[in-house]
Amino acid sequence: MTQKKIITVFGATGAQGGGLVRAILNDPNSEFAVRAVTRDPKSDKAKALAEMGAEVVAADIDDPESLNRVLKGAYGAYFVTFFWDHFSPEKEKEEVKMMAAAAKEVGLKHAIWSTLEDVRKYIPLEDDRMPTLQEKYKVPHFDGKGEADQYFDGVPTTFLLASYYWENLIYFGMGPKKSEDGKYSITFPMGDKKWRASLQTISVSVLTEFLKKAIQ
């Protein structure tokens, strides 16, 4: 029997990582096996992944030793950070630096880094059409990720940019709200301002299909 190539998936119990785990495990012809990363292998979500056939392992992206441990022997990895747990681009950058260093150290053949654009390349800090947040960012959860891309220099990497999940309309409190005239409209985060730009959106399930192709 040919040994399957291991893909270490961070955020495996979450939206992005969970989608990739299911996409690989639901494909009987997949050449890949899943090593699903969680902080708590005893959680119900982690147990469900194990039942599906994933190797469930414990790691914390803030613990570099654990990163090395779960990446060792893997062919590739899916890297994602968790901005909304702490709201700190500085922390995110530090985490990506450690992830990329671990990827280099174990010699990953393919990394996928779930990044976003550094908005400051298009709207510099001095441009007051957008407020500057946390003193040096325009969109903190984008800018920090984009700035951290450089850490993957020297690692074969696919940079995946998915700006907004449709699922936010359901699970992130961003769905249409009923106004006094009975009409529904999307008001968060723009209030009653007109949306000048179109918002690039993707469903997590469609994202998963991209990921499945990207991991090859």
Ligand X SMILES: NC(=O)c1ccc[n+]([C@@H]2O[C@H](COP(=O)([O-])OP(=O)(O)OC[C@H]3O[C@@H](n4cnc5c(N)ncnc54)[C@H](OP(=O)(O)O)[C@@H]3O)[C@@H](O)[C@H]2O)c1
Q: How far is the CB of 104 from ligand X (least distance, A)?
A: 19
Burial letters 157-176, b for 16+ CB under 10 A, else e? bbbbebeebebeeeeeebee
Nearer to ligand X, 2 or 195 (CB): 195
Q: Does 71 bind ligand X (CB under 6 A)?
A: no
44 is a contact residue toward ligand X (CB under 6 A)? no
What is the smallest separation between the CB atom of 175 and ligand X, expressed in angstroms? 13
Decide: helix, strand or coil at residue 160: strand
Q: Which CB atom, from 98 or from 108, has the smaller least distance to ligand X?
A: 98
47 binds ligand X (CB under 6 A): no
DSSP 3: P
In angstroms, the CA 90 to CA 136 distance is 11
Distance CA 103, CA 91 (A): 18
Alpha helices in 107-166 (DSSP H): 140-148
Residues 5-24 within binding reach of ligand X (CB under 6 A): 11, 13-17
User: Which residues in the 158-177 window bind ligand X by CB under 6 A?
Assistant: 162-165, 168
Find tokens 């119990």 and name the residue: 13
Residues found near ligand X in the complex (CB under 6 A): 11, 13-17, 38-40, 43, 45-46, 60-62, 80-85, 141, 162-165, 168
